[in-house]
Amino acid sequence: MKKVFVIILILFVASPGYSQQLPQFTQYMYNTISINPAYAGSRDGFSTVGLHRSQWADMEGAPTTQTLSLHSPLSNDKVGLGLSIINDNSGYENYTYAYGDFAYRLDLSEDVTLRLGLKAGMSYYSLEEELLNDPSVANDPFFQDQFNRWTPNFGLGFYLSAQNWYIGGSAPKVINNNNNEANEYMALEQVHYYLTSGYVFDLSSNVKLRPSTLLKATNGAPLSVDISATTILNEKFYLGANYRIDDALGAFLDIQLFEGFRAGYAYEYPISDISPYTSGSHEVLLIYEFRFKNTRYKSPRFF
């Protein structure tokens, strides 16, 4: 797989191309702040989420991703601050994103709020030493000097929500940075547009159903549509399924181990042309939250 990657990279030297898309997740509904800064502070307390994803198991050079996000409202609860870090490795390429988040809440009614958010930070793009030491590229200054760099960026978002529903839209990076400044090859960061939504239905006193969706639009790539449904039992067990249209099927289970702490696992199997070459993708999720006593919503939050 890595040898193929070297060949593809060399072929792109003489032509324009697009850099890797932002990573996708089966449990996207728990990683909202990484794509939407307006989500910062919406949990009415301090929230931290860690996630590891191993995509396309059994394939050499397949992507692996780690994310860490923290966010909380300030004392006046109108302002929320957050931090999101993503480390994404695919083949010989490494991406690191470190972004701060700011959100301001507008109260549209007693139950409905609109949050407007701003995300700003840096992205680091690099190539592994193993590639740079490969005899086919070791003496080529193009590969030695052009790829390892930090680039600034910023994003925007909104988050409209009530106790039992939400709608969000965002563009987490709006500048099309070129990760390679050489004239022969452009590694552009394409703008990603996200639209998310969800609703919580009370099926009984102990059972809830939470459908949710995520749409991602990127220039030069097909529209990505995720549809999920989660059954919530006793506000402690979350059992769900996910379908990414024409791409993958997934399932996940999250359990509240004790107050404020949850752990989860997700499995996703591709239904695209890549399915014969992998046994699927795996995600591990850890969530810790400390809710403040004086909050806008008195009952638990499910998104």
Give the pLDDT score at 22: 75
pLDDT tier for residue 18 given thresholds of 50, 70 and 90: very low
pTM: 0.85
Give the pLDDT score at 147: 62
Among 146-155, 242-251, 265-274, the least confident range = 146-155
Give the pLDDT score at 32: 93
Mean per-residue pLDDT, 212-230: 92
Give the pLDDT score at 226: 97
Mean per-residue pLDDT, 41-48: 90
Q: Which residue in 208, 212, 249, 245 sits closest to 228, CA to CA?
A: 212
Average per-residue pLDDT for the chain: 84
pLDDT over 90 for what percent of the chain?
A: 58
Give the pLDDT score at 141: 58
Domains of the chain: 2-291 (2.40.160.40)
Give the pLDDT score at 303: 86
Amino acid (1-letter code) at residue 46: F
Residue found under tokens 């400044």: 181
Give the pLDDT score at 157: 97
Transcribe the chain into DSSP letters: -HHHHHHHHHHGGGS-EEPPPPP--TTGGG-GGGT-GGGTTTTSEEEEEEEEEE-STTSTT--EEEEEEEEEE-TTSSEEEEEEEEEEEETTEEEEEEEEEEEEEEESSSS-EEEEEEEEEEEEEEE-HHHHTSTTTTT-HHHHHSS-EEEEEEEEEEEEE-SSEEEEEEES--S--BS--STT--EE---EEEEEEEE-EE-SSSEEEEEEEEEEEETTSPPEEEEEEEEEETTTEEEEEEEETTTEEEEEEEEEEETTEEEEEEEEEE-STTGGG---EEEEEEEEEEE-SS-S--SPP--
The Cα-based distances of 143 to 47, 89, 92, 130, 181 in angstroms read: 40, 18, 12, 12, 12
Give the pLDDT score at 7: 38
Residue found under tokens 């109260």: 107
Mean per-residue pLDDT, 227-233: 97
pLDDT tier for residue 68 given thresholds of 50, 70 and 90: very high
Contacts of 109 (CB under 8 A, 6+ apart): none
Instruction: Tell me: pLDDT of 89 over 50.
Output: yes
Instruction: Tell me: pLDDT of 17 over 50.
Output: no
Among 8-22, 45-59, 237-251, the least confident range = 8-22
For 128-158, the pLDDT digits (tens) are 766 555 566 556 655 555 567 788 999 999 9
Q: Which residue in 84, 103, 88 sits closest to 31, CA to CA?
A: 84
For 188-212, the pLDDT digits (tens) are 667 899 999 999 999 999 999 999 9
Instruction: Tell me: pLDDT of 117 over 80.
Output: yes
Give the pLDDT score at 19: 47
Give the pLDDT score at 159: 98
The residue with greater pLDDT, 131 or 127, is 127
Give the pLDDT score at 14: 33
